[in-house]
Chain A
Amino acid sequence: MDTGLIAIAAGLAVGLTGLASGWAEKDIGSAAVGAMIEDDSLFGKGLILTVLPETIVIFGLVLGIMLMGQM
C-alpha cells in the first residue's frame, strides 16, 4: 500500500512540475521568439530566459527520485 502511494506521489511530483514548467515556458518562449525576430542578437538571452522555468521540473524530478529511494 505504502509503496503504491509513494509511486503515485513521485509520479505527481514529476508530472505536475512538468506541466507547470511547460505553462511558464509557453509565454516566455513566444516572447523570446518575438524579440529575436526583431533583433537576433537576443538569441542567448531569450534561450536562457526560456529555460529558467525548467528548474521547476528539475526540483520535481529530484523529489521524485528521493521518493523512489523510500520504496
Chain B
Amino acid sequence: MFGRKGNYPYAVARVRGKKRMLLKGEDYSKMMVMELPEISRFLGETNYQKEMAELGGRFEGVDLIEHATYRNMARNFRSVLDFTNGELHDMLAAYLTRWDHWNVKVILRGKSFGADMESIREDLVPAGNLSEEYLNSLCSMEMGDELFAELSRKLNAPLPPSAVEAYKQFGKLTSIEDYLDKLYYERLLDAIGTNTKPKRLFRAFIQREIDIINLETILMLKEEKAPPEVILNYFIEGGLQIDRKMATNLANAEDRKALAAELVKLDFYEEIKEALESEEKPLRNVMDALRLYQIRKTETLSYLYPLSVIPVFDYMFHKKLEVDNIRIIARGKVSGLDTDTLKRLLVI
C-alpha cells in the first residue's frame, strides 16, 4: 500500500520545532494557580491564539478552552499530514483514521445519552479522513438504523448485527465500540508492510500500542469483576507481547499476585510494577504509568530512529498530552479542585 519514501528530514525537523513550542511544566504550574478567565487569556497568548480568537465570540469559560484545544489539535495533526509525502504520509493517514473512529464513538455515545448536537461537537476532533461537515451531518442524524447504515457505508464495513442488536435491546454501545477498535487495528496492521525499516518500526509501534490497550482493558474489566470470557471478548489481536494465551492467563488470574506473576514476562513490567503494588487507586496509577511508558518509549525511539515516522508520533503524543492536561486543569478549576489534586491528575 505504501509507496515512495517520504520527506523524513523536512517533516521530522518541523515536528521537532512544533514539539519545542508545546507548553512546559512551568506553564502548567502557572495555569494551576490561575482562575479560568486567566487561563483563557494565557492560552490566547500561546499556540492556541488563533482558535481562542475564532471561538471567543461563540463560547466562554471551560467550553471555549475545550473547543479551542481540540480544534487546535485537529489543525496541527492535519497540517502534519499535509506537509508529509510518500510512505510517511500514507502511514500517518492510516494512523490518523483513529480519529475517525474516535469521532464516530463520540457521536454514538452522545446520541445514545441524548446529548445535544453542540455538546457532541465539542468533543469531535476532525483530524482523520472524515471532514468536519460530514461529522456534523452525522450529528444531525437520528440515532438508529439510518445512522448505523450510513456508518457501515462510510467505514466500508457493515456493523455486526449482534452489536447493533445489543444496542437496540439494552442500549449498550460497548460491542459497537469494541468492533470499531478492532476494525481500526486490523486494517492498520493489514496496511503496513514489512519490507522497509520505517514500516517495520511503525508496525512494532502499533503492536506495542495494542499491548498497552489490551492490558488496560484487562485490568479495567478485572477491577469490575468481569468474568474471563467477557474480558477476552475485548481482546485485540496483533500485539507484540500479549498474545491470546497470555491474555487468557491474565483474565483468569485470581489475585494481584497471580497477575504480577504473568505480567513479569512483559518488558515494560518494571515501569508499572510500583503502580500495580500501590494501595491507593492501583488501576489509575497503572494506566498513568502505561501512558507515561508509551510516551517515554516513543521519545527514546524517536532519537534512535530520527529519520522515521516515530518522531512524528512522539510529537502527536505530546500534543495530545498537552491538550488533555489543559482540559484537566480547566475542568478541575470549574469543579473547584485544589492545586495538589490537579497536580496528581496531570501527566507531565
A-B contact pairs, 24 of them (CB 8 A): A28-B9, A30-B7, A30-B10, A31-B9, A31-B12, A33-B10, A33-B13, A34-B9, A34-B10, A34-B11, A34-B12, A34-B13, A34-B17, A34-B83, A35-B13, A35-B14, A35-B16, A38-B14, A38-B17, A38-B18, A38-B20, A39-B17, A39-B20, A39-B21
Chain B residue numbers with a CB within 8 Å of A35 are 13-14, 16-17
Q: Are B20 and A32 in contact (CB under 8 A)?
A: no
Q: Are B9 and A30 in contact (CB under 8 A)?
A: yes
Residues of A within 8 A of B (CB): 27-28, 30-35, 37-39, 42
Q: How far is the CA of A38 from the CA of B16 in the complex (A)?
A: 9
State how many angstroms separate the Cβ of B241 from the closest Cβ of chain A. Answer: 34
Q: How far is the CA of A44 from the CA of B11 in the complex (A)?
A: 20
Chain B residue numbers with a CB within 8 Å of A39 are 17, 20-21
Range class of the B interface residue count: 10 to 19
Q: How far is the CA of A34 from the CA of B12 in the complex (A)?
A: 8
* Besides A34-B13, A35-B16, A38-B17, 17 new A-B residue pairs in contact (Cβ under 8 A), listed by A number: A27-B9, A28-B9, A30-B7, A30-B13, A31-B9, A31-B10, A31-B12, A31-B13, A32-B13, A33-B13, A34-B10, A34-B14, A37-B17, A38-B13, A38-B18, A38-B20, A39-B20
* CB closest residue in chain A, given B21: A38
Q: Mark B283-320, 1 if CB is under 8 A from A, else 0.
A: 00000000000000000000000000000000000000
State how many angstroms separate the Cβ of B309 from the closest Cβ of chain A. Answer: 15
Chain A residue numbers with a CB within 8 Å of B14 are 34-35, 37-38
Chain A residue numbers with a CB within 8 Å of B16 are 35
Chain A residue numbers with a CB within 8 Å of B12 are 31, 34
Q: How far is the CA of A42 from the CA of B14 in the complex (A)?
A: 12
State how many angstroms separate the Cβ of B69 from the closest Cβ of chain A. Answer: 20
Chain B residue numbers with a CB within 8 Å of A42 are 17
Q: Mark B79-95, 1 if CB is under 8 A from A, else 0.
A: 00001000000000000
Q: Which 6 A-B pairs have the closest CB atoms?
A: A38-B17, A34-B13, A31-B9, A31-B13, A34-B14, A30-B10
* CB closest residue in chain B, given A32: B13
Within 8 A of A (CB), among B1-52: 7, 9-14, 16-18, 20-21
* CB closest residue in chain B, given A26: B9
Q: Mark B227-258, 1 if CB is under 8 A from A, else 0.
A: 00000000000000000000000000000000
Q: How far is the CA of A67 from the CA of B154 in the complex (A)?
A: 68
Q: How far is the CA of A47 from the CA of B224 in the complex (A)?
A: 58
Q: How far is the CA of A38 from the CA of B17 in the complex (A)?
A: 5
Chain A residue numbers with a CB within 8 Å of B21 are 38-39
Q: How far is the CA of A34 from the CA of B312 in the complex (A)?
A: 13
Chain B residue numbers with a CB within 8 Å of A34 are 9-14, 17, 83
* CB closest residue in chain B, given A30: B10
Chain B residue numbers with a CB within 8 Å of A28 are 9
State how many angstroms separate the Cβ of B11 from the closest Cβ of chain A. Answer: 7
Q: How far is the CA of A33 from the CA of B9 in the complex (A)?
A: 10
State how many angstroms separate the Cβ of A26 from the closest Cβ of chain B. Answer: 8
Q: Mark B162-174, 1 if CB is under 8 A from A, else 0.
A: 0000000000000
* CB closest residue in chain B, given A42: B17
Which of B17, B20, B21 lies at the interface centre, i.e. has the most chain A CB atoms within 10 A of its CB? B17
Chain A residue numbers with a CB within 8 Å of B10 are 30-31, 33-34
